[in-house]
Amino acid sequence: MHQPAPAPLVVFDLDGTLVDTAPDLIDTLNGLLVREGITAVPFDEARRFIGGGARLLIERGLAAQGRDCGSAAIDRLYAVYVDAYAERIADLSRPFPGVIDALDALDGAGCRFAVCTNKLERLSRKLLDALGLAGRFRAICGQDTFAVMKPDPQALLGTIAAAGGDPARTVMVGDSGTDILTARASGVPVVAVDFGYTEVPIASLGPDRVIGHYAELPDAVAALLDTTAGTPTYSG
């Protein structure tokens, strides 16, 4: 008996893609630095440090202020950071403009959704739950969900499997070179947002599509799904 193909799947990065988390992430980082007697990092500079998980954010923050701590010190600061960030997970963080409308439009066209992030899974779930978005996603996978994290393709492929999707009918949405590398290594087309947390213009990294507002996402997803399958799989 012929099995129907899985529904199209859109896999989102979280920080800088779905949700503008920079205010809470950076406030937590700077609170930690100040308690350690270290000068806070300016917001615009620290914003570029986001994307590799909390440990890398701390390491980049320390390096920016001329501090080089050993692994034991980083472990201690990381544990303090995670607890402090969890307490203020969505104080200032909000979905980017147009996210809800884009999800509604894609859902109406038959798409399903998942999250693949380098944020800890429990923090990702807590954030999305606090924003009323968690129920939208078939899978929410973080840096500790699998044995690997982005840009290892198994992070994305594992997320697709957890959501019941098919890589051939999947599009990734991200904001960084890490997301683009992950998608490329997984054989999945990628849409990049140009308002996220990256040090270089996102178009220079070669995503399949670049959008400047979520109003553009449904058409971008439809075009990529139509051009990466043997027959059209989606119509907006």
Positive/negative CA dihedral, 160, 164, 168, 174: negative
Q: State CA 52 to chain mean position distance.
A: 10
Active-site residue, 68 included: no
Please name the residues in contact with 92: beta carbons below 8 A apart, sequence gap of 6 or more: 23, 24, 27
Exposed, middle or buried: residue 147 (CB in 10 Å: 0-12, 13-18, 19+)? exposed
Distance CA 31, CA 111 (A): 40
**Strand ranges inside 82-206, DSSP E:** 94-95, 112-116, 139-141, 170-174, 190-193
- Which residue out of 13, 175, 179, 208 is catalytically annotated? 13
> 44 CB contacts (<8 Å, ≥6 apart)?
none
Can you say whether the dihedral through the CA atoms of 135, 133, 9, 22 is positive or negative?
Answer: negative
Closest CA to 146 of 178, 188, 117: 117
Residues annotated catalytic, as ranges: 13
